Amino acid sequence: MSEEQAQSDTGEAATDGAEVTPLNALSLATPPVQQVVEGALMAAGGPLTLDQILGLYPEDRRPPREEIRAAIDALTADYADRGIELVEVAGGWRIQVRRAVAPWVARLWEEKPARYSRALLETLALIAYRQPITRGEIEDIRGVTVSTQIVKTLTEREWVRVVGHRDVPGRPALYATTRRFLDYFGLRSLNDLPPLAELRDPAFFDEQLRAAGEARPDDTDHGDPR
């Protein structure tokens, strides 16, 4: 009875913002940094940042950042021949099933992964490449209305969120992609997105159009804009 009391007393203290650790457990010998890092990345179920890993240690026992970095590098090397790999994404570091093995592992689940409609992907692409962007602007480019369902799906998946409102009548919401979006597609930042096709200079094609009236010039030298 009194033991329980003592234990939950520390719990009470925790709610007042004091140290939250099961101290008795942590006061045992500290395991090697690499083991803690590996255990954490394995259990997290998603990416962890360096700070999150450091946060696992009580302040007075926190290893230097470089040590965590070194452990991550060592693990990355260790996994070279394994069924898993350690990758960096926007949300930090993540352990995932090696891509070469993934098709086998995918057979664990009966259902096939979701496919996304072109409408959804085009909307997502516009938000990713043109953020922050309003729904109206997306519709202007796509030439069709964007269904509420698509915006809802993107928001619910936490790939997209409202980051503000354009200061025009109606104050339309401005959408941007999230870190979750980057993590989902295995990207470290928006810069990792496949490059957007170059837009041929409008000034050029104006001229082109004008010239077209007389004689059609050979336009093989300006590459296909995909």
Partner 1 sequence: MTAPGPPQPETPQPAAAADDGAVPLAIIRGAPLLKLPEDLYIPPDALEIFLDAFEGPLDLLLYLIRKQNLDILDIPINQITTQYMEYVELMKELRLELAAEYLVMAAMLCEIKSRMLLPRPETTDEEHADPRAELVRRLMEYERYKQAAQDLDTLPREGRDNFPVSAELSSEHIRRIPPTVELGEILAALRDVMRRADLFTSHRVARESLSLRERMSRVLELVQRGGFVPFAALFDVTEGRAGVVVSFLAVLELVKAATLELVQSESYAPIHVRLRGGEA
Instruction: Specify the residue, 86 or 174, whose C-beta has the smaller distance to a second copy.
Output: 86
- Please report whether residue 39 would count as binding partner 1 according to CB under 8 A: yes
Instruction: Specify the residue, 16 or 60, whose C-beta has the smaller distance to partner 1.
Output: 16
Residue 81 binds: one of a second copy, partner 1, none (C-beta under 5 to 8 A by kind) = a second copy
Tell me which of 106, 136, 147, 152 binds partner 1, using CB under 8 A: 106
- Please report whether residue 19 would count as binding partner 1 according to CB under 8 A: no
Angle at which helix 33-44 crosses helix 65-78, to 10 degrees, equals: 70
- DSSP 8-state code for residue 62: P
- Please report whether residue 7 would count as binding partner 1 according to CB under 8 A: yes
- Please report whether residue 188 would count as binding partner 1 according to CB under 8 A: no
Q: Nearest distance from residue 64's CB to partner 1, in Å? A: 25
- Please report whether residue 152 would count as binding partner 1 according to CB under 8 A: no
Return the HEC string of 156-178: HCCCEEEEEECCCCCCCEEEEEC
Instruction: Specify the residue, 77 or 102, whose C-beta has the smaller distance to partner 1.
Output: 102
Contacts for 82 with CB less than 8 Å, ≥ 6 apart? 98
For residue 180, give both structure tokens. 């979750």
Distance CA 198, CA 224 (A): 9
Count of residues touching partner 1 (by CB under 8 A): 95
Q: Is 143 helix (H, G, I), strand (E, B) or coil?
A: coil
Instruction: Specify the residue, 32 or 143, whose C-beta has the smaller distance to a second copy.
Output: 32
Instruction: Specify the residue, 11 or 164, whose C-beta has the smaller distance to a second copy.
Output: 11
149 CA to centre of own chain: 22
Residues of 153-189 as b/e, b for ≥16 C-beta within 10 angstroms? bbeebebbbeeeeeeeeeebbbbbbbbbbbbbeebee
- Please report whether residue 46 would count as binding partner 1 according to CB under 8 A: yes
Q: Nearest distance from residue 30's CB to partner 1, in Å? A: 15
Residue 165 binds: one of partner 1, a second copy, none (C-beta under 5 to 8 A by kind) = partner 1
Q: Nearest distance from residue 125's CB to a second copy, in Å? A: 16
Whether residue 32 has a cis bond before it, omega within 30° of 0: no
Distance CA 138, CA 132 (A): 11
Instruction: Specify the residue, 77 or 212, whose C-beta has the smaller distance to partner 1.
Output: 212
